[in-house]
Chains A and B, each alone.
Chain A
Amino acid sequence: MGGAVASVAGRGQTIEQVDFALVGHQESWKAVADVLAVLRGPKHAPLPDDEIKDILPWIPPRAVCHVEVRSVVNAKTGGAKARGLYIDSFIPPDRLEAAYVRENLARVRGAAACAIKAGAKIASLGGFSSILIEGNFDQLPERHNTVFTTGNTLTVGFIVQGVKKMCALEDRNIGRATLLIVGATGDVGSGCARCLAPIVKRVLLSARNLERLRRLAAELEADGVQVEVATDLRQFSVEADIVICAASLASSSLLLGRVAPHAIVCDAGYPKNLSPSAEMPGARIFYGGLGQITGGLSFAPDFHGILNRHPFPDVVHGCLLEGMALALEGRFEPFSQGRGFITQERVEEIVAVATKHGIYLAPLYNADGPVEDKIDCQTEWVEGMSGEAKAPLGAML
């Protein structure tokens, strides 16, 4: 396991061994401003917004900070730990659209090259980077000794755990539920379908590509699952009780009339943009795919609450946690690659690795705050955070 100072390069400088790299970007200009404010330090005034928007597109992908994650294994003796880097591709938050795919792929490639150059043994692709690369692994630079994972398997694990937990909290019988998955043919959506289809009454699959929908439906039906597919949510014959949005919806109003009034809605899209609204007052919305590190997480410089802008401490997106968990386990392998290969067995395997090192499902919350009635000390809400910080927008890790 990592953590040791591996070599000495030149007099007076040691090069730290890099177990993992986390590749990401900021989702909002506020998040960018906060990152730059940390980098500028307290002696310098924060940059004006217009300057930030002028400067950001010119910053080449690069490491922003060092990250250390600690395991609960052998915690009494200091615990196992893994060291890594957070590498930002500096994709501007207003360029997360299809029109910028080529430019953004180049940025992710640049960030991947940084991970390789740093000698990272495993690199997790976070957020939009994962979406861009999941079907384009051949576009990553020559890898040498660095393996890449999209982290989607652990993301699926936390989504599934979250849905089950929410059903339990709401006293719902998941076995009688109709599950709708939006973005069902993607890597995360199809993984959720494989994990949850066997335990619900019926599955509704929605995505843009009908052919892929039919292939997934045939796979599930072969195991005796009742499946409907549609490219338009209005075409389904029944309302859903549980919804997993594995792709971002333009608006939560798209779900109106397609889901039961008190449906459980898991926003697992990227970026997360569903919020409790007057249009669906009875819906129980929560953010899915997030995990919490209980052994310890630290940044140098200190980006706590800046890179991981969640309302609970040490909460990180599952996609990035996968790389950290594998690094703690000393398993430097491309656990999640490609699209459509996530199975229930693989999900159980990665969840077991994460659990062993104290990485668990994060407390459930949404834009309004925690959705769990009983909050224990481990899931303590971070008091005093601004409204902006409570909202998930800009949460990179």
Chain B
Amino acid sequence: MEPVISLNSSAIQCTSLSSSAPIWQDVLAQAITGELLAAMNYTSLSEICDDPEEVADALEHAAGERGHAAAFAAEGRKIGVEVSSNVEGMHWKRLREAFMHCIAERDFIGCLIVQEIMLESFAVASYARVAKVGPGSLGKTFARIAAEEEEHVDHAMAILRAERAQDVQRFDEKVHRLHLDVMTTLAKMLAKECKDGHCEVCHGNCVKPSLFEVSLSAAALRGASLEQYLKTLDMLGLPGEVTLAWVAQLPV
């Protein structure tokens, strides 16, 4: 696993979180990995944009995601842990591949659907859950970044709604195709137990069974993420009965 890049943190504030620090270490590792993957995705996106404004926008987003990763890493140091990341981890690698498939097809809309509708739904919801229970500045950082990610989604919604209005059926079929790939991977990642082996991001054993010690649970993180995803699809205008069936068919 790679340590997180260029961290300009202030003085380390070791707190009295020694017993739960290893749990937060893994929670932060997942968050940092997600942010770095998002940064890579936006950088890739900038390479297929024709409009200079879109290029600038994508690069700005990439920088923002790297900033989030750095902020999470800084929170790790405050509680005395060095947080690693691994974008090559089993699930994250698969998510990156799904995104890169859209890049290869120069499918700007597909990229937005994967990153803004699927991955960001997961990020917004899970960060918001962590923010509720995270101690001190760690909780506040998760809350702040959740709010910023939500703004990204809002920005993309306008573009995606306009795209859907042009051809509803084609758009919905594309969302479904991407859902089958990306959301299946996310569902496996969010399952209560990792059935496919170690995720290659947690620093030791899987963190999920220990989450209750910090008032979190894998089930709640999954539930909140899927709820956010369904609500985002509702806002896009996809029929609720259709998206409900999609989600009901995901692996558990």
Please list the residues of chain A having a beta carbon within 8 angstroms of any beta carbon in chain B: 9-13, 36, 39-41, 44, 47-48, 51, 54-55, 57-60, 62-66, 85, 114, 301
Interface presence of B188 (CB below 8 A): no
Nearest residue (CB) in A for B217 is: A54
Contacts of A66 in B (CB 8 A): 241
Contact A60 B231, beta carbon cutoff 8 Å: yes
Contacts of A39 in B (CB 8 A): 244-245, 248-249
Expressed in whole angstroms, the minimum distance between the Cβ of A63 and any Cβ of chain B is 4
- CA distance in complex: A242, B174 (Å): 60
Contact B219 A54, beta carbon cutoff 8 Å: yes
Number of chain B residues whose Cβ lies closer than 8 Å to a Cβ of chain A: 29
Most buried by A among B169, B226, B231, B244: B244
Q: Given that A12-B168, A12-B169 are known contacts, is A58 also in contact with B227, CB under 8 Å in the complex?
A: yes
Contact A13 B168, beta carbon cutoff 8 Å: yes
Contact B239 A63, beta carbon cutoff 8 Å: yes
Listed from nearest, the 10 A-B pairs whose CB atoms lie closest are A62-B240, A58-B223, A10-B168, A12-B169, A39-B248, A54-B219, A13-B168, A63-B241, A58-B227, A51-B252
Task: Out of A10, A47, A64, name the residue touching B169 (CB < 8 Å).
Answer: A10
Give 18 A-B pairs besides A10-B171, A51-B192 with Cβ atoms closer than 8 angstroms: A11-B167, A12-B167, A12-B168, A13-B168, A13-B172, A36-B248, A39-B245, A39-B248, A40-B248, A47-B252, A51-B252, A57-B223, A59-B227, A62-B244, A63-B239, A63-B241, A64-B244, A65-B241
Contact A13 B227, beta carbon cutoff 8 Å: no
Please list the residues of chain B having a beta carbon within 8 angstroms of any beta carbon in chain A: 164-172, 192, 219, 222-224, 226-227, 230-231, 234, 239-241, 243-245, 247-249, 252
Contacts of B241 in A (CB 8 A): 62-66, 85
Task: Out of A11, A36, A40, A55, name the residue touching B226 (CB < 8 Å).
Answer: A55
Most buried by A among B167, B222, B239: B239
Contact A62 B230, beta carbon cutoff 8 Å: yes
Nearest residue (CB) in A for B224 is: A58
Expressed in whole angstroms, the minimum distance between the Cβ of B128 and any Cβ of chain A is 13
- CA distance in complex: A41, B245 (Å): 9
Expressed in whole angstroms, the minimum distance between the Cβ of A58 and any Cβ of chain B is 3
Contacts of B231 in A (CB 8 A): 60
Contacts of A41 in B (CB 8 A): 245, 249
Expressed in whole angstroms, the minimum distance between the Cβ of A345 and any Cβ of chain B is 38
Contact B192 A54, beta carbon cutoff 8 Å: yes
Contact B192 A40, beta carbon cutoff 8 Å: no
- CA distance in complex: A62, B234 (Å): 9
- CA distance in complex: A66, B172 (Å): 19
Expressed in whole angstroms, the minimum distance between the Cβ of A92 and any Cβ of chain B is 12
Expressed in whole angstroms, the minimum distance between the Cβ of A237 and any Cβ of chain B is 54
| Number of cross-chain contacts by CB at 8 Å | 75
Q: Is the interface of B mostly helix, strand, loop or mixed?
A: helix
Contact A48 B223, beta carbon cutoff 8 Å: no
Expressed in whole angstroms, the minimum distance between the Cβ of A390 and any Cβ of chain B is 26
Q: Could you show 26 A-B contacts with beta carbons less than 8 Å apart?
A: A10-B164, A10-B166, A10-B168, A11-B166, A11-B169, A12-B168, A12-B169, A13-B169, A39-B249, A40-B248, A41-B245, A41-B249, A47-B252, A54-B192, A54-B219, A54-B223, A55-B223, A57-B223, A58-B224, A58-B226, A59-B230, A60-B227, A60-B231, A63-B239, A65-B241, A114-B240
Expressed in whole angstroms, the minimum distance between the Cβ of A32 and any Cβ of chain B is 11
Nearest residue (CB) in B for A300 is: B241
Contact B223 A9, beta carbon cutoff 8 Å: no
Expressed in whole angstroms, the minimum distance between the Cβ of B123 and any Cβ of chain A is 16
- CA distance in complex: A10, B237 (Å): 12
Contacts of B226 in A (CB 8 A): 55, 58-59
Contact A11 B248, beta carbon cutoff 8 Å: no
Nearest residue (CB) in B for A13 is: B168
- CA distance in complex: A85, B244 (Å): 14
- CA distance in complex: A59, B227 (Å): 6
Contacts of A9 in B (CB 8 A): 165, 168
- CA distance in complex: A284, B241 (Å): 41
- CA distance in complex: A55, B249 (Å): 12
Expressed in whole angstroms, the minimum distance between the Cβ of A222 and any Cβ of chain B is 49
- CA distance in complex: A320, B168 (Å): 32
Contacts of A62 in B (CB 8 A): 230, 234, 240-241, 243-244
Contacts of A58 in B (CB 8 A): 223-224, 226-227
- CA distance in complex: A62, B237 (Å): 12
Expressed in whole angstroms, the minimum distance between the Cβ of B249 and any Cβ of chain A is 5
Nearest residue (CB) in A for B246 is: A39
Expressed in whole angstroms, the minimum distance between the Cβ of B5 and any Cβ of chain A is 35
Expressed in whole angstroms, the minimum distance between the Cβ of A251 and any Cβ of chain B is 34
Most buried by A among B172, B231, B234: B234
Contacts of B165 in A (CB 8 A): 9-10
Contacts of B245 in A (CB 8 A): 39-41, 301
Nearest residue (CB) in A for B219 is: A54
Nearest residue (CB) in A for B167 is: A11
Nearest residue (CB) in B for A61 is: B240
- CA distance in complex: A59, B244 (Å): 8
Expressed in whole angstroms, the minimum distance between the Cβ of A95 and any Cβ of chain B is 15
- CA distance in complex: A301, B223 (Å): 24
Contact A63 B240, beta carbon cutoff 8 Å: yes
